Amino acid sequence: MMQDVDSPIAASRLDTKIMSPAIGVEVAGLDLTQPLEDSQVQELRSLLLKHQLLVFRDQALSSAQHIAFARRFGELEVHPVFPHDPDYPELVLLGGDSTQPGRENLYHSDVSWRAEPSMGSILRCIECPPAGGDTIWCNMVLAYENLPHHIKDVLHELEAVHDLLPGFIDRISEEERAAIRERFPAQTHPVVRTHPETGQRILYVSSWTTHLANYIETGFFRGMPELQSGAHWLLQYLVDQARHPEYQVRLKWQPHTLAFWDNRSTQHYAVQDYFPSPRKMARATIIGDRPY
């Protein structure tokens, strides 16, 4: 059953502060180190559907508490490439240090290369640089809504391929690549997906997208392979929609800040402007369902 994000069930009884007109709300009035009541979990779910990004300040969670909070919203994945917390494989460790810059500075939706991509991610700041290291989120519902009508007409049948391997090729040894490819084959998802809870239409291509799968099999382009080059232009145009400031919010991290976002309807970008200062983050990722 679809939920109206503006219905009374989506209204919050918590102390909330809008972060931007497009996306994001800061939430106060909860201690996330303590177990949540079912009603609080439902309230946060409703807020997430309405605002797409929830930010909590001054939440000094341990790894165990981080995992416990995330599990209230679904089963958690184990990432096949990123380093993990030694005690909690569901908790990936992100960020750079004085020898290695962070590499999350591209617009993306987490693990869209899975057959069932993430529902949401919960990222905790462990150590922040003295300046910089912000994260940008983008509302991809707005990105779709504001596309020209003639572009929307082209997209309704299109599918795109999302692939893990190109983005991680230098982190996976040659000996391991065949096994990774077998476990995680490239996935084809609709260019415009439907949010399974709100029914909203979402532009769903990002830096994980390698190409459009069926460009010359659909619509105006059917049976005209000489127009294949247009697929590259169209994909780049669509990927670039996440860069519009009008669809974005930018979060300045502080230690013990927690961000919880809907991976189905957003993209994010971790700004790499702090090297060689350290930036240490931990992320739990909630398993979702297959896009349609």
DSSP 42-53: HHHHHHHHHHSE
Catalytic residue among 51, 124, 268, 279: 268
pTM: 0.91
Q: Is 108 a catalytic residue?
A: yes
Residue 244 annotated as catalytic: no
Active-site residue (options: 51, 110, 201, 262): 110
- Of the candidates 45, 108, 201, 279, the residue annotated as catalytic is 108
67 secondary structure, DSSP code: H
The answer, yes or no, to whether residue 223 has pLDDT greater than 80, is: no
Beta carbons within 8 Å of 237's beta carbon, 6+ residues apart: 151
Active-site annotation holds for 268: yes
Least confident of 27-31, 143-147, 205-209, 218-222: 218-222
Q: Is 139's pLDDT higher than 50?
A: yes
Q: How confident is the model at residue 11 (pLDDT cuts 50, 70, 90)?
A: very low
Report the share of the chain in percent with pLDDT over 70. 93
Kindly state the percentage of the chain with pLDDT values over 90: 78
Average pLDDT along the chain: 92
Q: Is 79 a catalytic residue?
A: no
